[in-house]
Structure 1
Amino acid sequence: MVLKIDKSVVSVDWLFKNLDNQKLIIFDATILKVTAKKEVSSDEKQQIKGAFFFDIQKTFSDENAPFPNTVLSAKTFEVKAQQLGINQDSCIVVYDDLGIYSSPRVWWMFQLMGFTNIAVLDGGLPAWNSKNYPTEKPINHSPKKGNFIATYQSEKIKCTADVLSFIKSDSFLIADARSKGRFLATEPEPRNDVKGGRIPNSVSLPYSEIVENNLMKSEEDLRAVFNKINPKNKDFIFSCGSGITASVLALGAEIAGIKNHSVYDGSWTEWGITDGLPIENN
């Protein structure tokens, strides 16, 4: 039976109700925060029953790129998605162990590749565990090759040259998902080779401000947050450290009904390393 998702997030109750649907694919997209001290050991790790691991950093990022979490080409993404058993009629739910952190990055990547029947599990594993819904030790899956086809949506992504050209634009607003301290350069960057500061004319919107108790804020509250920083209704460009939490802002904008938004893939890591780019830090 075809399973269609009409929202960008689904509840744990919805997922539990549809857990046995043959079209459903569940991805655990957990990654370690760049500021985290240690990983969960393999003996402690649990996944939602039937979930596959979606490896953002190794399998679904360009490891030959100079910056972390660089998106793959459409063709490479297509091949790797097929290897995970994804079909054109699949329904994907993606989550992470931290509630809302890395899972929106996977949601955004599939949006970039033209696949929209995907949602983030609101609250992630903590919300799932709060209901005592079934989990299991990670299992090595060998899925049958899928027929997923990527249809690249170039308007959803920006590169450094784009951002540089839009700094003084009346049509775009750059919103930064990093902490306020990193935005103001009063806190050090977690990567030693990255300068402190921010992109000129950007505004601060820490991703934590649109998440509450591991859940995305309501549509009404999200709309208020975005309208407050963007009263002129400019097109959003979302940035962060390396493209992960910028995707949380993209998810929030989508929930709020905002369609004109994109992610700066290199984000501050690329901007803060690249010589010759303007930086504000006071």
Structure 2
Amino acid sequence: MSLTLPGSLVTTEWLAAHLDAPGLVLLDGSFTMPGVTPTAAENYRERHIPGARFFDIEKVADHASSLPHMLPSAEAFEAVARRLGLSNDSVVVIYDTPGLVSAGRVWWTLRVFGHEKIAVLDGGLRKWRAEGRPVTAEIPTPAEGTFRAAFHPELVRSRADMLQNLGTKAEQVIDARAASRFTAAENEPRPGLRSGHIPGSFNLPSSSLTDPETGEILKPETLKTLFENAGLDLSRPVAATCGSGVTASALAFSLHLIGNDNVAVYDGSWSEWGLPGDTPVATGPSGEEEKAGAGEKA
């Protein structure tokens, strides 16, 4: 009998029971900001869930772009997926170290390129280790997969799309960065970027989506309340943004869990929008915005 996922979120108990199941591809999608040590790759080499392959967000990217970890081409992704042992019928479970920081980015990337059988491990490596479950430094060498990519552009937003949306307001925009970055009370960690947010956008820090003690994602009814309190109308389409497209995907995944799949991710996010130039920038909380002039520091 082929392996079937119980849903888009799986428990550590479920994963432990199916860890050796044929057809399961387990991906460690952990991510650390540039300059942070040890890196996610170094942490993976030291310890990971047995059988997990490392999905390196920095390397699974468009290396011709000056922006951080932008989506690769379908052809490039297909080659990476095959090296990871991924085929179109693979059942994929993704985790990251804290619980839900970057696993959502891997989930979204796989969906962008047409993979459907995907789930995120609730609580990630943090919960797995807290329960005393096994970890290893042994790096698997999977057989080559046969994955064929099918690009889904409706899940991706560009700078041009976001500029157009300022006029049409066809999509609500929600930002996963910390409130202090959203309001411009704090400077951006990446040098050279202006501070603030896309005018008209709402703010829901991705850190609020999970239990701070366990890393588990909050219950659907709680997530729904958080999004509504942030200002979203859950019946309308959404574009998610953040610093570089990683935690925006955590928002997209959380919206998926509460039944809203009309969600795209702005891949360039603030790493692109916040560059010096003519993209308008707002400061202050949602609804109390003050637009900065073109090219000015907000």
**TM class, shorter-length:** over 0.9
What is the aligned-residue identity percentage?
35
1:227 aligns with 2:248: no
Q: 1:55 maps to which residue? A: 56
Within 5 A, what are the aligned runs for 1:1-282?
Answer: 1-33=1-33, 36=36, 38-39=38-39, 45-58=46-59, 60-139=60-139, 141-213=140-212, 214-228=215-229, 229-231=231-233, 233-282=235-284
Cα distance 1:46–1:71, how it changes in 2: closer, same or farther (>3 A)? same
The structural deviation recorded for 1:138 is 4.1
Q: For residues 6 and 150 of structure 1, what CA distance do their matches in structure 2 show?
A: 24
Q: For residues 48 and 245 of structure 1, what CA distance do their matches in structure 2 show?
A: 22
- Residue by residue over 1:13-46, the C-alpha shift from the partner in whole angstroms, topping out at 9 and shown as x without a partner, is 1100101101111111111145846547669821
- Residue by residue over 1:107-149, the C-alpha shift from the partner in whole angstroms, topping out at 9 and shown as x without a partner, is 000111111101111100111012211111141x332211111
RMSD: 1.8
Q: For residues 221 and 34 of structure 2, what CA distance do their matches in structure 1 show?
A: 31
The structural deviation recorded for 1:227 is 2.8
- Residue by residue over 1:249-276, the C-alpha shift from the partner in whole angstroms, topping out at 9 and shown as x without a partner, is 0010000111110000000010011511
Equivalent pair of 1:168/1:201 in contact (CA under 8 Å): no
Q: Is 263-272 or 143-152 further displaced after alignment? A: 143-152
The structural deviation recorded for 1:168 is 3.5
Name the SS for the 1:135 alignment partner.
coil
Return the letter of the residue paired with 2:122.
D
Gaps of 5+ in 2: 285-298
Return the letter of the residue paired with 1:61.
A
The structural deviation recorded for 1:151 is 1.2
The structural deviation recorded for 1:6 is 4.6
Equivalent pair of 1:172/1:235 in contact (CA under 8 Å): yes
The structural deviation recorded for 1:224 is 1.9
Equivalent pair of 1:176/1:239 in contact (CA under 8 Å): yes
Gaps of 5+ in 1: none
Equivalent pair of 1:25/1:91 in contact (CA under 8 Å): yes
Q: Is 72-81 or 240-249 further displaced after alignment? A: 72-81
Q: How many residues align?
A: 280
Equivalent pair of 2:44/2:54 in contact (CA under 8 Å): no
Name the SS for the 1:93 alignment partner.
strand
Moved over 6 A (4+): none
Cα distance 1:11–1:233, how it changes in 2: closer, same or farther (>3 A)? same
The normalised TM-score by structure 1 is 0.94
Equivalent pair of 1:237/1:263 in contact (CA under 8 Å): yes
The normalised TM-score by structure 2 is 0.89
Q: For residues 99 and 231 of structure 1, what CA distance do their matches in structure 2 show?
A: 26
Q: For residues 44 and 143 of structure 1, what CA distance do their matches in structure 2 show?
A: 16
Equivalent pair of 2:99/2:210 in contact (CA under 8 Å): no
